[in-house]
Amino acid sequence: MKTDNTLQNVLDFSLDIFFPNRCPCCGDFIAWNVSICDKCKDKLSEYRCNLNNDIKAAYYYDGIVVDGIYALKFAGSKNFAKHCVSVLSDSLDEDFDIIVPVPIGKKRLRKRGYNQAEVIAKYFSDLKNIPVEKNALIRVLETVQHKLTQKERIKNAEDSYQIGKTQVSGKRILLVDDVYTTGATSLVCKNMLLSAGASHVTIAVCAKTYEINN
């Protein structure tokens, strides 16, 4: 693990020569080995969440947090994911067996080139030395959630995801995604994992909306 981190540091330093590192929230240039500028790090403290037992979010989805999520999802910047994982890590004191990212559809994956939930999962894995299981859940339908009612979102999520080939019975699972909006997707995925025999599932996200209190 230490060797892998050293190689990654060398790669990050080299890439910074040609593609200078930028803050995901404001776009300012930052050192190659940091994930966010000091100004935005201070500003983000205004949006910190109170963490509870089973749903852990680093920030509320507002202000410059929205910019950080946008950079993660659409600008190819992984810095905000890395920062949020560092914020959440101290609150995750459980012993997890596997980390499961919420999958995205094949069409969106081809267009974007990556699944942002897998990026978050990889940072958690590197930090906690816990394996990522990308095939524990699979996306079977390519649908859009944001225009649907809460009831429609739940039904849509139930139709869109299935348990994959990874054995989850008896496992303590960290389920990760970028944003927890109404909770439909994350909670449906959590319940699927529990129904498949997982002993416990904790949800961790970079941000959640204010109206979500659970």
pLDDT for the residue numbered 2: 47
Q: Dihedral of the CA atoms 213, 185, 121, 209 (nearest 10)?
A: -30
d(CA 88, CA 76): 22
50: helix, coil or strand? coil
Return the DSSP state at 132: B
As a whole number, the mean pLDDT across the chain is 89
d(CA 183, CA 213): 10
d(CA 55, CA 117): 15
Q: How much is the pTM?
A: 0.88
Please state which of the ranges 137-141, 175-179, 203-207, 210-214 shows the lowest mean pLDDT: 210-214
Give Dmax over CA atoms of the chain in angstroms.
49
Domain spans in the chain, listed from the N-terminal domain onward: 48-208
Phi and psi, residue 188, nearest 5°: -65, -45
d(CA 172, CA 170): 7
Quick one: pLDDT band at residue 55, thresholds 50, 70, 90? confident
Look at residues 60, 5, 62 and name the one whose alpha carbon lies nearest to residue 33: 5
Residue-wise pLDDT for 151-197, tens only, equals 888 898 999 999 999 999 999 999 999 999 988 999 999 999 999 99
Specify the higher pLDDT residue, 119 or 6: 119
Helix/strand number for the chain, H first, E second? 8, 6
pLDDT for the residue numbered 149: 81
Residue-wise pLDDT for 61-88, tens only, equals 999 999 999 999 999 999 999 999 999 9
User: Does domain 48-208 bear CATH number 3.40.50?
Assistant: yes
